[in-house]
Amino acid sequence: MREKVKVGPENTPIIAAVFCMYNRYVDGLATMALSDPNGYLERAEPVAKHGYVWNLQRVLRSAASGKE
pTM of the model: 0.40
Q: What is the pLDDT of residue 19?
A: 94
User: Are 40 and 34 spatial neighbours (Cβ–Cβ below 8 Å)?
Assistant: yes
CA distances for 3 relative to 6, 10, 29, 62, angstroms: 9, 18, 36, 46
pLDDT, one tens digit per residue, over 2-53 is 788 777 888 889 999 999 999 999 888 888 888 998 989 988 888 888 887 8
- Can you give the residue ranges of every domain in the chain? 9-65
2's torsion region: left (phi>0), alpha (psi -120 to 50) or beta?
beta
